[in-house]
Amino acid sequence: MRKRINVTKPSIPPIDEYCREIKSAWDTGLLTNFGPLERKLKGQLEEFLGVRHLPLFANGHQALMAAIKAFALPGRTSVITTPFTFASTTEAIAGLGLKPVFCDVDPVTYTLDPAKVEALIDNDTAAIVPVHVYGNVCDTESFDRISGKYNIPVIYDAAHCFGVTKNAKGIGTFGAASMFSFHATKAFNTVEGGAVAVSDPETADRIKRYSSYGLIGTEDADVLGTNAKMTEFSAAMGICNLRHIGEVTEKRKNICEIYTRILTEGADFDEKTGLCASGIKLLPKQEGVEKNYAYFPVIFGKTSKDGKSFKGDGGVTVEKCVKALEAENVFPRRYFHPLTSELSCMKLFDKNATPVAKELSENVLCLPLYADLDPADASFIGGIVRDCFLKNG
């Protein structure tokens, strides 16, 4: 039996490097509560991401809740968002007592479709929460226009977009705020962690206080907060991992290039749409966007003869491919499946109201991708996947 290959594996620094970084916690006796390592990482990330203010959190979920709480229009109760995302996005909205209003996605980028968003806006819309998916960037220009036209804040879930730039600007500079996740599975991790990028210092301070019970000093709280502070141990991991982010990204890029070469070999492939004549769809190449190579999703189905449209096969090839890979001890992930609108806690919503997202969800499979993945294993995996969709054609 071949060694087990999971869909992801965390990038971690040499243990000696981490021990040197965390040693200061023993010297200071400070383990949390915005310690020196947390402040050091915060400064380094603000510079790396090109953002003005970046309050850090224990996880991305609490960071997103803080961002929505800070910017959602008071007195309104609904938030327009996408069902093609991880559960955290939807549950952060619902967890604040707000109603998620699910909007369909763009078939090329898989991100929230701004034209369809505008049709859903009403007097109860408190915010719009688009998600940058797999490193694909939302149509920020259209969302800027919508935000200005209706005076509604746009809060980006940028959990998949650490280090991504658009037109040489950090992805965290768009919208009212952007949430980053530093979970162990992400391209950059602090084991668990997250952050909110904002431009205004007073808002940043209020968001920071949210992570520490809303406290002002030690005797009062002006924000109804929670306990979501990043510890010194997570900060130390982040400091170490940030030193290696260039090397990690380059290795991930190499794996993506291997998959792309194998899956598109001998077939017409349009980088701008991701469409391949052989019957798959890969991530598109977005103009002006510098990728982070965080995920490698494959959408299975049929490409039209003119190469301009794509139709999934209802998950037939996905299921076949999963079985073929698992037989070789390789474990991909159907990410995102099901839609968050299909979760048991969201049954009040019509899952058929977002047909593009539904088709993507049924036909997507994310292949293993991490810095330490052996290129030979990537070639082996790519070959299995290619055989599955070609035999199904």
- Pairwise CA distance, residues 269 & 162, whole Å: 27
* Mean pLDDT score, 84-101: 97
Ranges in the chain annotated CATH 3.40.640.10: 15-243
pLDDT at 289: 98
- Pairwise CA distance, residues 228 & 159, whole Å: 17
Least confident of 154-163, 223-232, 300-309, 362-371: 300-309
* Mean pLDDT score, 35-63: 98
Ranges in the chain annotated CATH 3.90.1150.10: 245-332+367-391
- Within 10 Å of residue 219's Cβ, how many Cβ atoms? 6
* Mean pLDDT score, 170-192: 98
15-243 CATH fold = Aspartate Aminotransferase; domain 2 (3.40.640)
- Pairwise CA distance, residues 300 & 310, whole Å: 9
- Specify the residue for token string 């950090």: 170
Whether 223 and 343 have beta carbons less than 8 Å apart is answered as no
Q: Does position 222 have pLDDT exceeding 90, yes or no? A: no
Q: Does position 1 have pLDDT exceeding 80, yes or no? A: no
Q: Does position 348 have pLDDT exceeding 70, yes or no? A: no
pLDDT at 246: 98
pLDDT at 184: 97
- Pairwise CA distance, residues 139 & 174, whole Å: 10
Q: Does position 349 have pLDDT exceeding 80, yes or no? A: no
Specify the 3-state DSSP secondary structure of 128. Answer: strand
Q: Does position 310 have pLDDT exceeding 60, yes or no? A: yes
- Pairwise CA distance, residues 175 & 74, whole Å: 18
- Pairwise CA distance, residues 314 & 355, whole Å: 12
The per-residue pLDDT of the chain, averaged, comes to 96
pLDDT at 308: 86
Where helices occur in the chain by DSSP H, the ranges are 15-28, 36-49, 60-71, 87-95, 114-120, 140-150, 201-210, 232-243, 245-264, 316-326, 355-363, 375-391
Give the pairing type, strands 125-129 and 78-81: parallel
pLDDT at 307: 85
* Integer angstrom CA distances of residue 385 from 7, 368, 391: 14, 12, 10
Whether 324 and 384 have beta carbons less than 8 Å apart is answered as yes
pLDDT at 346: 81
Whether 298 and 363 have beta carbons less than 8 Å apart is answered as no
| Partners of residue 215 on adjacent β-strands | 221
Exposure class string for 128-147: b at 16+ Cβ within 10 A, else e: bbbbbbbbbbbbbebbeebb
Can you read off the two tokens belonging to residue 158?
């940028």
From the options 3.40.50.620, 3.40.50.150, 3.90.1150.10, 3.90.550.10, give the CATH code of 245-332+367-391. 3.90.1150.10
Whether 78 and 99 have beta carbons less than 8 Å apart is answered as yes
pLDDT at 219: 83
Q: What percent of the chain has pLDDT over 90?
A: 92
pLDDT at 24: 95
pLDDT at 2: 83
Q: Does position 372 have pLDDT exceeding 90, yes or no? A: yes
Q: Does position 331 have pLDDT exceeding 90, yes or no? A: yes
pLDDT at 217: 80
pLDDT at 306: 87
Q: Does position 392 have pLDDT exceeding 90, yes or no? A: no
* Mean pLDDT score, 24-50: 97
pLDDT at 393: 52
- What pTM was computed for the model? 0.97
For the stretch 257-274, pLDDT in tens is 999 999 999 999 999 999
For the stretch 120-176, pLDDT in tens is 999 999 999 999 999 999 999 999 999 999 999 999 999 999 999 999 999 999 999
Can you read off the two tokens belonging to residue 183?
């979970």
DSSP string, 251-283: HHHHHHHHHHHHHHTTS-B-TTT-EETTTEE--
For helices 201-210 and 60-71, what crossing angle results, to 10°? 130
Whether 171 and 180 have beta carbons less than 8 Å apart is answered as no
Q: What percent of the chain has pLDDT over 70?
A: 98
